Structure formats: C-alpha cells, structure tokens
Amino acid sequence: MFCVTVILFKLLLVIEGIQINYIKVPPAVQNNTDQSVILECNYSIRPDDSELVVKWYLNDAVVYQWIPPHKPQALGIMKDRVNLSYVSSDDPKMAYRSMQIINPTTNIAGEYKCFVSTFTDEDFSMKSMIVFVPEKSLELFHSGHTNQKINFTCTATEVYPEPKLTVFKDKKDEFENRNYLQAVEWSTSRLPTGRYSVTITTSILLNKIAAGSLVHCELKIPGTGYVKRKSMLYYPPSEYE
Ligand SMILES: *[C@@H]1O[C@H](CO)[C@@H](O)[C@H](O)[C@H]1NC(C)=O
Ligand SMILES: *[C@@H]1O[C@H](CO)[C@@H](O)[C@H](O)[C@H]1NC(C)=O
Ligand SMILES: *[C@@H]1O[C@H](CO)[C@@H](O)[C@H](O)[C@H]1NC(C)=O
C-alpha cells in the first residue's frame, strides 16, 4: 500500500507541467515617486508543455495577462500603468512573465498574485505590496504640567497608511531598553485624501525625568520599514517660561 502511494506521488511529480519557483513583489514603496517597480514571477515549465498563460492579479482582479505568442496586456486599474515592452528573460516561454509598473500609487497597493497555467497544469503564488505616503510634519512638544506630572504630545500629519507613534526618553543607542512614556490620550483622524493625522499625549512623573533628558517621538508605518524620529531636550517646567 505504501509503495503504491509513493509510486502515485512520483507519477504526479512527473506529470507536473509548470511550477512557480518564486515571486518577487516589493513589500513597500513610496507613493508617486516616478520610479517604476518590477514584480517578478519566476517559474519552470516543461519544454513539451503548451498553452501557456501568465496572469497577474491585484486583489483578485486580473490586471496583466500574457498568452504567447500574443503581446502582453494590462487590464483594469493597471491599464496604461505597465511597461508592456519589459522583457525579463530571453526564453520565449518566459519573456513577459514579469510586470513593470510605472510610478506606483496608493490605489494599486494590495495582494498580488502570479497565476500560471498550461494545458496540463497550473500554479500560483501571492505577496502583498504597501504604497505609503511619508508624513507632512512630525512635532513633539510638552503640553501641560502639574506639580507632579508633565505631558508630552506628538503629532504626525498626512501619513498613509495609518502610522504608529511612541514617545520614549533617554535612549542613547539601539541596544538600550527604551523608557516609554505612558500614553494618556490619542486620536486618529482620516482626511478626505485618505491620509491619517495622529496625535498621542503621554505623561510622566516629574521625579522620573531629569533635566537635560532627551525625549523622542518615533513614527513607524507598519509593514514598510519607514521610521522617522523627532527629539527634544527636557527642562523642568519653570524653565519653560
Ligand atoms: C498618492 O499619489 C497619487 C498621485 O499623486 C495621489 O493621487 C494620491 O492621492 C496619493 N495617495 C495618498 C493616500 O495621498
Ligand atoms: C529565474 O528563472 C530563470 C529561467 O528559468 C533562471 O534561469 C533564473 O536563474 C531564475 N532566477 C532569476 C533571478 O532570474
Ligand atoms: C495630560 O493629558 C491628559 C489627557 O489629555 C489630561 O487629562 C491631563 O490633565 C494632562 N496632565 C497635565 C499635567 O497636563
């Protein structure tokens, strides 16, 4: 019984006509920078297999299709946004497998899928791409105090997608533990452009922060590796006046 299963399995492997080795989709790109990106779909096809079709989907809609010997086409939202003469391999069965997107913008972010099929077989692979907009401004300031506590407020404007803000103090290098200030109030607003403006207010006891401490606000756009920091020197409240 085991033998039969193994033989069947091997037979299936032999019949396999097409297989995606990998796809490459940039995980994050900045909006509207006039720089193109290339989405690669690397597959292996059996020399005797026929009726090759290569398709790229964005969020389940076909946006690119190549059915040799025809020319590739860009469809739907990707119409007029792809360099259709981009050739990624000398092999006639792979020439137009990849898609070069001219100037990616936020409306073409999402899940990309390369789907390949032949007469006998098919395969697909997916990866997502974020298109982000850096903040217009990032501000950090002290915002009120009592005898015991002081507040620091950090504001980031017009970021996309929604960023995360944290406030911490005294960090000297990347390896040191951060002293996060406690968040006491936060708000996020979505602007008509789709961008986000975010404010976080944090609080710390006056006896926990020494004069001359550095206070930092860090903005991160999740999933992109984009990080921005604003820092200020702290002096006790009386010295602000
Ligand atoms: C990204 O850039 C395009 C082109 O300038 C613009 O229309 C779009 O609003 C931008 N996206 C965001 C979220 O700002
Ligand atoms: C992708 O596929 C081609 C053709 O099968 C192969 O020669 C190549 O090594 C693969 N990798 C890259 C990075 O192109
Ligand atoms: C700090 O901010 C919180 C939330 O806005 C506010 O309720 C509190 O009164 C502020 N504290 C000080 C010391 O200004």
Which atom of ligand 3 lies nearest, measured to the CA of 148? Answer: 13
Tokens of 76: 């739907």
Centre of ligand 1 to C-alpha 40, Å, is 25
CB atoms inside a 10 Å sphere around CB 196: 20
Mutate to test the pocket of ligand 2, among 24, 49, 89 (most ligand atoms within 8 A of CB): 89
Which own/partner pairs from 227-230 qualify as long-range (CB within 8 Å, at least 24 positions apart)? 228/134, 228/135, 228/138, 230/138, 230/139, 230/140, 230/154
Query: Would you call 13 exposed, middle or buried from its count of C-beta atoms within 10 A (0-12, 13-18, 19+)?
Result: exposed
- pLDDT by residue for the chain (241 residues), tens digit each? 555 555 555 455 555 789 999 999 999 999 999 999 999 999 999 888 889 999 999 999 999 999 999 999 999 999 999 999 999 999 999 999 999 999 999 999 999 999 999 998 999 999 999 999 999 999 999 999 998 999 999 999 999 999 999 999 976 655 567 789 999 999 999 999 999 999 999 999 998 998 889 999 999 999 999 999 999 999 887 754 4
- Record the pTM: 0.86
Residues 6+ apart with CB under 8 A from 177: none
Report the SS3 class of residue 9: helix
Calpha distance 25→133 (Å, rounded)? 18
- Asked if residue 196 lies in contact with residue 161, where contact means CB atoms within 8 angstroms, the answer is yes
